[in-house]
Structure 1
């Protein structure tokens, strides 16, 4: 399968192109999930790199309590480091117009009469985790008839839930690993009984919140006596918990871009995550964002037929989920040649050092070109049911 890089200089349809101004892009970031700081870091990177000659930018932050505020167009306070965890704050509240004909945002400042911020052509929701990546903001934007980057309500919601994701992929004939689901009611009713099926998975296992990302709340469990504490830890982030069998294999990833018009989706080079031995037990939050222990090998050193299968199956997963815009598809490649689909991320980490932009960079698509292509795809999307 030959994968062509996108053409970021293709004209948009009607919005922006037919007006005597640049399209306005609202970057929405922060949010109520445990991945607030990761979202801020993503926004910092996009603010630095978005093509200012092509777009006007409106930075909108969502606080950890859910308030929308107008932020300064400055990436520095949003940078995530080992010594600084950024957060959205402010008193300048932003309101989304409920009028589908408006496509506008307004600003309410303390002691001031609300004023219009103007019409927005496309929203780029740089949100990770619940209350953003899970179909909630997508539903709000759909009600307001606003175009936005990324997947719609159903794909965002189902792919955020790792249990429902596996159900969809298994029904599509894609290979998923063994797991046990522990719901909130099962845990409250009888914790011991809800843990009983886990032993059949073998040890070790990974315990994780069903609806979280960025390795938040994930624990590698080596034995039964560690299981209860790991589940309680995961439940701090989500009352629905997934316990997955540990799969011995290399972690490889493929980036997917929606095709233009009726064109099929496009697959990137396949990259491999390598965590420096002895630093972390697995690819956790610290190795992803706070130190240099994780590195990407791209293209991954794989047999060509395996790499081709990963690209083809990643597109199949993207289509089976009904995704739009972008997704990162994560796999395990075992020593016996078996491929197991781990998960799909509808809004993957999006800093220049994140895996999704880097696998596309290896394909010849720069970070700025990738941002442009995603915005152009959103501008060309028709409103309503698709």
Structure 2
């Protein structure tokens, strides 16, 4: 542990994804919410270019995002000094020099990196190699939670109902474009939604109403990923549930998103503030119970840990419940759906942070029981 038996937490935020600014807002909110009598906080900022910058041990929370973007002092590339202690792991032989708060000396890492290179399993793999405890989903769950095609395959294997879809890569699109369009028209129909398979916040998502729009939508999605997923349109209510735990996860009350736009896109989520979050969702108790049970099943299906938000459709025509996706690092400011769902369930924002730290340390302890043959 850190000095005075406080738990030393390294917060990693920023990153190379299109959700860099969202990550900064999340980091600011989390740093303001932590109990500084219980924790020591060390911030680690990753620039948009992928450069790591380390901050000093925080005695109090920062007041603004600008304080989280450090100057070049202490900056290091992937092979530089900032990552050397990280890769040395959590061995007791790793002792920080006086005044050197290297990430290798933290008790647990809290990644707050939304999107690519943050919640897709890449940085989780780095933490695994360094033998560091970290908050949230592991490599597999993070990767599956980011890749919508892989996610849907695992949901299908778990028997979770979902919308019809087709997934393909840029290679196949360039090779058999017309055949793919024919197949999507036959299997999915119009309107349909076209998405990059591996991107958060609905960036690159389009609604297609005819073949011309479908082809253009695929080209747009391929700007952001090599794999595309096309989903059938359902006239439905959007219901979300928060999940918390490791092997025995629990689900929050359900909430509903009522979007200001034609679909819940990046602007509706983060910019115009017109999308309403109704918590708890005004749905029958039987439906609410089913959505909580399915959320836990989805969490276990991807081998989740720590947290996730599970998103569902309730089809208006017949009330059928369909899983849409899970998000292994959902929005995490006090005004985001995930913390608000838990607040309504009786778990405060600060209690959430405490629980996530405990879950990370418990998962790490379990992993130490594994014999890797060394």
What's the TM-score, normalizing by structure 2?
Answer: 0.88
Give a deviation string over 1:38-73, Cα, whole Å, max 9, x none: 211211111111121111111111112211112476
Provide closer, same or farther for how the CA distance between residues 229 and 257 of structure 1 changes in structure 2, counting only shifts above 3 A. Answer: same
How far residue 332 of structure 1 moved from its aligned partner, in angstroms, is 0.1
Unpaired runs of at least 5, structure 1:
1-14, 80-85, 108-113
Q: Is the 8 A contact 1:204 1:245 kept in 2?
A: yes
Provide closer, same or farther for how the CA distance between residues 28 and 370 of structure 1 changes in structure 2, counting only shifts above 3 A. Answer: same
Q: Distance in 1 between matches of 2:110 and 2:297?
A: 25
Q: Distance in 1 between matches of 2:339 and 2:84?
A: 30
Which of 45, 48, 55 is 2:39 aligned to? Answer: 55
Q: Distance in 2 between matches of 1:384 and 1:228?
A: 49
Give a deviation string over 1:269-298, Cα, whole Å, max 9, x none: 00000123xxx2111111111122111111
Which of 22, 39, 46 is 2:30 aligned to? Answer: 46
Give a deviation string over 1:151-197, Cα, whole Å, max 9, x none: 11111112211000000010110112111112021122233333222
Which of 82, 91, 100 is 2:89 aligned to? Answer: 100
Question: 1:245 matched to which residue of 2?
Answer: 232
Question: 1:5 matched to which residue of 2?
Answer: none
Q: Secondary structure at the match of 2:338?
A: helix
Unpaired runs of at least 5, structure 2:
76-81
Question: 1:257 matched to which residue of 2?
Answer: 244
More helix by share: 2
Q: Secondary structure at the match of 2:45?
A: strand
Q: Distance in 2 between matches of 1:88 and 1:31?
A: 13
Q: Distance in 2 between matches of 1:245 and 1:369?
A: 39
Q: Secondary structure at the match of 1:307?
A: helix
Question: 1:321 matched to which residue of 2?
Answer: 302
How far residue 144 of structure 1 moved from its aligned partner, in angstroms, is 0.8
Which of 140, 156, 167 is 1:170 aligned to? Answer: 156
- Give the alignment of 1:207-226 within 5 angstroms: 207-226=194-213
The number of equivalent residue pairs is 352
Q: Secondary structure at the match of 2:311?
A: strand
Q: Which range moved further: 350-359 or 115-124? A: 115-124
- Give the alignment of 1:74-153 within 5 angstroms: 74-77=62-65, 90-93=72-75, 94-97=82-85, 98-102=87-91, 115=100, 117=102, 119-153=105-139
What's the TM-score, normalizing by structure 1?
Answer: 0.85
How far residue 78 of structure 1 moved from its aligned partner, in angstroms, is 5.5
Instruction: Tell which has more relative contact order, 1 or 2 (C-alpha 8 A, sep 6+).
Output: 1
Q: Secondary structure at the match of 2:345?
A: coil
Q: Distance in 2 between matches of 1:106 and 1:66?
A: 24
Provide closer, same or farther for how the CA distance between residues 91 and 217 of structure 1 changes in structure 2, counting only shifts above 3 A. Answer: farther
How far residue 128 of structure 1 moved from its aligned partner, in angstroms, is 1.4
